[in-house]
């Protein structure tokens, strides 16, 4: 085990002592306390002898509850060039885990290792072990197509098929042979659209083209499409970055509802969003997982100087 774990009561002091009502406005968004200068300097004082740049991942708080995905020493190479270094991370079930860090630090690369999307990139090699429910997802016995139904993915730009709303949602259950009767399919489509919070808006136009929906509706449709095949995990790569603030709020609400049933991992470049939607946060920097823990802890009481520098906007 190469994790450095902080659990003692002493470790909970420091920035926690700062005024908890204090918050800072950045880009019009309210950020949590550690971003206030007072809290930041309290943390900073404690970080004088922070671990060196390539030190082991700091686990600020270990996850509680069952672990859905366990990554161990995962490295990724593109044409022999290393992009991700020995990432070990436990991702709990029925929880939203946010992956944060500056552009190019490896968030999308790591996300793609969890449903083997990197297999589809020529010249990409993944080493290490990723287990879902203790089963190695890179084992020869695992069919990547079936794996991607169990581990659904939502991208930055909504990508509905140029088909009807109904067909978009029915597609997965159809190709995976989950449903045979038409009436049964109607039920699956309705239930997925309801769970994605889109039913009310599209119930009377299921046969219309999905391309006619707004961006936010398309993103909820894509989420309905992922849900329709009963996934266990939903991966989201900056799902709101192409959306306006109202559509973003709607997706964030939806993510919060979905967490009751699914394990969710979301990449976001918005720290305010990470603070709003996630319970766990993992901070990446230059291909390494620097620090992970409960979201509150990462934002209010980071153990690593690089985490503090990033969440306080000193780089990124
Ligand atoms: N398909 C690819 N081919 C080659 N290099 C890639 C590819 N995807 C990502 N990379 C490289 O891997 C590193 C991590 O990228 P990425 O995972 O996209 O970062 P992030 O999502 O944090 O912005 C970057 O240096 C990027 O240039
Ligand atoms: Mg990315």
> Rounded to the nearest whole angstrom, what is the distance from the C-alpha of residue 150 to the centroid of ligand 1?
24
Residue with the nearest Cα to atom 11 of ligand 1?
83
Please check the confidence at residue 156 and state whether its pLDDT lies above 80: yes
Q: What is the pLDDT of residue 89?
A: 98
Q: What is the pLDDT of residue 277?
A: 98
| Domains of the chain from N-terminus onward | 65-312 (3.40.50.300)
Residue 39: which pLDDT band, with cuts at 50, 70 and 90?
A: low
Q: pLDDT digit string (tens) for 222-265?
A: 999 999 999 999 999 999 999 999 999 999 999 999 999 999 99
What's the mean pLDDT in 129-151? 96
Please check the confidence at residue 100 and state whether its pLDDT lies above 80: yes
In terms of average pLDDT, the best of 8-12, 228-232, 312-316 is: 228-232
Token pair 């922070």: residue: 50
How is residue 48 written in tokens? 């004088």
> Rounded to the nearest whole angstrom, what is the distance from the C-alpha of residue 6 to the centroid of ligand 1?
31
Q: Are 6 and 60 in contact (CB under 8 A)?
A: yes
Q: What is the pLDDT of residue 37?
A: 63
Q: pLDDT digit string (tens) for 41-93?
A: 666 665 554 444 567 899 999 999 999 999 999 999 999 999 999 999 999 99
Residue with the nearest Cα to atom 3 of ligand 1?
78
Residue with the nearest Cα to atom 9 of ligand 1?
109
Ligand nearest to the CA of 121: 1
DSSP string, 166-218: HHHHHHHHHHTT---SHHHHHHHHHHHHHHTT-HHHHGGGTTSBGGGS-HHHH
Atom of ligand 1 nearest to the CA of 123: 3
Residue with the nearest Cα to atom 8 of ligand 1?
109
Question: Does the beta carbon of 105 lie inside 6 Å of ligand 1?
Answer: yes
Residue with the nearest Cα to atom 12 of ligand 1?
83
**Greater pLDDT, 161 or 1:** 161
Question: Does the beta carbon of 280 lie inside 6 Å of ligand 1?
Answer: no
Question: Does the beta carbon of 171 lie inside 6 Å of ligand 1?
Answer: no
CA angle 95, 9, 59 (to 5 degrees): 40
Question: Does the beta carbon of 311 lie inside 6 Å of ligand 1?
Answer: no
> Rounded to the nearest whole angstrom, what is the distance from the C-alpha of residue 132 to the centroid of ligand 1?
24
Residue 13: which pLDDT band, with cuts at 50, 70 and 90?
A: very low
Percentage of the chain beyond pLDDT 90 is: 79
Question: Does the beta carbon of 306 lie inside 6 Å of ligand 1?
Answer: no
The residue whose CB lies within 8 Å of the most ligand 1 atoms, and thus the one to mutate among 76, 78, 239, is 78
Atom of ligand 1 nearest to the CA of 101: 22
pTM score: 0.85
> Rounded to the nearest whole angstrom, what is the distance from the C-alpha of residue 244 to the centroid of ligand 2?
19
Mean pLDDT value across the chain: 87
Please check the confidence at residue 31 and state whether its pLDDT lies above 80: no
Q: What is the pLDDT of residue 316?
A: 75
Residue 315: which pLDDT band, with cuts at 50, 70 and 90?
A: confident
Please check the confidence at residue 20 and state whether its pLDDT lies above 70: no
């Amino acid at each position: 085990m190469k994790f450095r774990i902080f659990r003692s009561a002493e470790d909970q002091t420091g920035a926690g002592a700062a005024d908890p009502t204090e918050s800072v406005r950045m880009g019009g968004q309210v950020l949590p306390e550690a971003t206030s200068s007072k809290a930041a300097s309290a943390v900073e004082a404690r970080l004088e002898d922070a671990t060196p740049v390539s030190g082991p991942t700091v686990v600020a708080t270990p996850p509680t509850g069952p672990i859905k995905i366990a990554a161990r020493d995962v490295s990724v190479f593109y044409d022999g060039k290393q992009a991700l270094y020995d990432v070990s991370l436990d991702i709990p079930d029925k929880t939203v885990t946010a992956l944060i860090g500056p552009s190019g630090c490896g968030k999308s690369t790591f996300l793609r290792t969890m449903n083997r999307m990197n297999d589809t990139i020529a010249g990409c090699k993944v080493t290490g072990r990723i287990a879902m429910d203790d089963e190695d997802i890179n084992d020869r016995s695992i069919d990547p197509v079936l794996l991607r139904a169990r581990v659904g993915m939502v991208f930055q730009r909504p990508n509905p098929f140029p088909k009807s709303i109904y067909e978009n949602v029915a597609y997965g259950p159809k190709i995976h042979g989950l449903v045979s009767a038409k009436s049964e399919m109607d039920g699956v489509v309705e239930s997925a659209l309801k769970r994605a919070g889109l039913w009310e808006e599209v119930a009377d136009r299921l046969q219309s083209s999905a391309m006619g929906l707004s961006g936010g509706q398309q993103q909820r449709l894509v989420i309905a499409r992922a849900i329709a095949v009963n996934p266990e995990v939903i991966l989201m790569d900056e799902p709101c970055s192409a959306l306006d603030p109202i559509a973003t709020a709607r997706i964030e609400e939806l993510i919060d509802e979905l967490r009751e049933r699914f394990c969710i991992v979301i990449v976001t470049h918005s720290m305010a969003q990470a603070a709003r939607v996630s319970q766990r946060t993992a901070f990446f920097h230059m291909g390494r997982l620097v620090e992970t823990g409960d979201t509150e802890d990462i934002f209010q009481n980071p153990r690593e100087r690089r985490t503090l520098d990033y969440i306080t906007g000193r780089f990124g």
